[in-house]
Amino acid sequence: MRFHQGTVLLVAVLGLARSVGAAEPVTIEYWHINSPTFGGPAAKELVQLFEAKHPNIKVVEKFQPGVYTGLMQQLQVSLAAKRPPAVAQIGYNLTAYAAGQFPHVLLDKYRKSDPAFFKGIPDNIMALGVLGGTLHGIPFGVSTPVMYYNADLFKAAGLNADQPPQTWDELQRQGAIIKQKTGKLAVYLQQPNDEWIDQTLIWGNGGRPLSEDGKRIGWDAPEAMEAMQMWQDMVNKSKIAANLTWEEGLQAFLSGHVAMCLTTIGRQEHMRRNATGFQVRAVPVPRFGSKPLATATGGNVLMIFASDPAQEKAAWEWIKFVLSPEGATIWTKGTGYLPPRAELANDPRYLKPFFDEAPLMKAALQTFPYTKPWVSFPGPRGLEITKILIKARDEVLEGKRPAELILKEATQQANALLPK
């Protein structure tokens, strides 16, 4: 009897200790696109540090192949099965679709409960997670397009490698010289399965990818048509630009067959390590004449898909951690993405040493104040609109018809798919 009483007492004490000392552990899933060669180790390091600081939260990080589109496919399926991750990276180009179609947590309430977290994130960056005046996601990865160039090819063409082109006119002049003197192509603008660089050209020439009211696609505006015609002419008339798939274009630049390459700063580490036999440098993308620099912002927001309050709370803690100075430092070092908290770049405790040792990153920092949104097309047919515009670019670069005709047709098709 005495034994039984002792056992009961022990169980009661242990139970009390458990309920007082520690809350029930919560496990959340975090989906990302960071492969082992692009930020995967940084994602694991963030999880380890976070779990050390939050012993009651376990984060299961899951890499999703196929970049943002691949992640969206898996996310859609997981939502259909009612087992979504608590937090996922959503590319800026897909944010409107995800916000409009997927059940998720709206984040404006945290502006009130956690004002300190939002301090230090510039408005133009925080705007990347805002749609229709509502905060749907927290900007996490921020990348800008930059222009990498082969300094040795510039020298071989008799050009000053310290003065690469700053405008498209200069690029075309210098490009013609490079082609004539070295026989190499002058430039490659990235052509993956998205229209990021196209939006950069449109913003840069003073256009808008989408009207402010979201009712009209901007690909048939004079600024857009002029920019795309310039690209077509560089490929087909002056023949200084390469029309290649993304992989081919990167290989061509890294092997010294193309002098300049416009792509993401997220590739800086890859460029630095793989440029064979030449010095790679980076500058901001060229401007259109005297117009100010403007580039579409790449990267992703973190959106919360957890429906359980405990999971949502844990997810918010995770987001706060990865965007804290400590988390953002690990993230930027591991990926080359810019930190949403710009001041970290000048802070010797965090990212200043990294930026001092990574000269290519300076081009992105110079671009940072001029970033514009990578417009995500609204409505359930938004993803098809993107594809229509990619197909139009393909046709423009083939050069069989003038850009104006192609873009007007594509815009008409795309406009019909926008929500009325």
Partner 1 sequence: MMEATALGAATARSRTRASRRWRGAAVGHLYLTPAIVLTGLFVYWPLVASTVLSFYDWNLVSPTWAAVGWQNYRELIASRAFWMSLVNTGKAAAALTVLTVGVPLLLALAVQRVGPRWRDLYRVVLFSPTVISMAIACAVWLWIFHPLYGVLNTTLRLVGLQGPAWLSSSDSAIWAIILVTVWKTFGFNFVLYIAGLLTIPREMYEAARVDGASERQLVWHVTLPLLAPTTLFVFLSTFILSPQNLFIPTQILTQGGPNEASNNVGYLVYQLGFEYFRVGYASAAATLIFLVFLVLTALQFYLAERRIHYGR
Catalog residues that contact partner 1 under the rule CB under 8 A: 69, 73, 76-77, 79-80, 101-103, 185, 191, 193, 242-245, 247-248, 251-252, 255, 257-258, 380-381, 383-384, 387, 390-392, 394-395, 397-398
DSSP string, 295-359: EEPEEEEEEE---SHHHHHHHHHHHHHHTSHHHHHHHHHHH-PBPSSGGGGG-TTTTHHHHHH-T
d(CA 190, CA 200): 11
Work out how close the CB of 393 gets to partner 1 at its nearest, in angstroms, rounded to a whole number.
9
Q: 63 exposed, middle or buried (CB, 10 Å; 0-12, 13-18, 19+)?
A: middle
Q: Nearest approach, Cβ of 305 to partner 1 (angstroms)?
A: 11
For partner 1, the closer of residues 185 and 265 by Cβ is 185
- In the complex with partner 1, which residue's Cβ is closer, 342 or 417? 417
In the bound complex, what is the minimum distance in angstroms from residue 40's beta carbon to partner 1?
19
Shortest distance, CB of residue 79 to partner 1, whole angstroms? Answer: 5
- Reduced to 3 states (helix: H, G, I; strand: E, B; else coil), residue 261 is strand
Give me 401's structure tokens: 């018809």
Please report, for residues 115, 128, 205, 295, 377, the alpha-carbon distance to residue 95 in angstroms, rounded to integers and kept in the order given: 23, 9, 24, 18, 9
88: phi then psi, degrees, rounded to nearest 5? -145, 150
Q: Least separation, in Å, of the C-beta of 247 and partner 1?
A: 6
Distance of CA 389 to the CA centre of its chain: 19
In this complex, which beta carbon is closest to partner 1, that of residue 33 or of residue 294?
33
Q: Which of 37, 39, 333, 272 is nearest to 148 (CA)?
A: 272
CB of 407 closer than 8 Å to CB of 227? no
The least distance separating partner 1 from the CB of residue 36, rounded to whole angstroms, comes to 17
Of 146 and 185, which CB lies nearer to partner 1 in the complex structure? 185
Q: Which is nearer to partner 1, 60 or 77 (CB)?
A: 77
Question: Between vectors from CA 219 to CA 125 and to CA 413, what angle results, nearest 5°?
Answer: 115
Nearest distance, CB of residue 206 and partner 1, angstroms? 27
Distance between CA atoms of 388 and 414, rounded to whole angstroms? 7
Phi-psi region of 272 (alpha: psi -120 to 50; beta: other; left: phi over 0): alpha
Q: Which is nearer to partner 1, 75 or 361 (CB)?
A: 75
Smaller CB separation from partner 1, 176 or 390: 390
Min CB(188)–partner 1 separation in Å: 10
Judged by beta carbon, residue 136 or residue 257, the one nearer partner 1 is 257
